[in-house]
C-alpha cells in the first residue's frame, strides 16, 4: 500500500531499509500484489487514493 499511496521519497526510504537483495523484488511485486488485493476488496486495481478521499 505504501508503494501505491506513498510519496516517492517515502517509498525510497522504506525500500532502502530492506536487504539489498530484496529491494528489486519488492519494487517489482508490491504494485502487482496491491492491485490484486484492491481488485478483490474495491473491485478495481486502482482505487481512489487516501488524499482524494479525505481531501
- What integer pLDDT is reported at residue 49 of this predicted model? 80
Global confidence as pTM: 0.72
Residue 18, domain extent: 2-53
SS3 for 19?
coil
Mean pLDDT for 3-22 is 92
Number of domain units in the chain: 1
State the pLDDT at residue 53: 57
DSSP-based three-state secondary structure for 13: helix
13-45 pLDDT, tens digit each: 999 999 999 999 999 999 999 999 999 999 999
Amino acid at each position: 500500500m505504501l508503494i501505491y499511496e506513498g510519496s516517492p521519497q517515502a517509498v525510497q526510504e522504506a525500500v532502502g531499509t530492506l536487504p539489498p537483495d530484496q529491494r528489486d523484488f519488492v519494487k517489482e511485486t508490491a504494485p502487482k500484489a496491491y492491485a490484486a488485493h484492491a481488485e478483490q476488496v474495491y473491485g478495481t486495481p486502482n482505487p481512489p487514493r487516501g488524499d482524494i478521499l479525505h481531501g
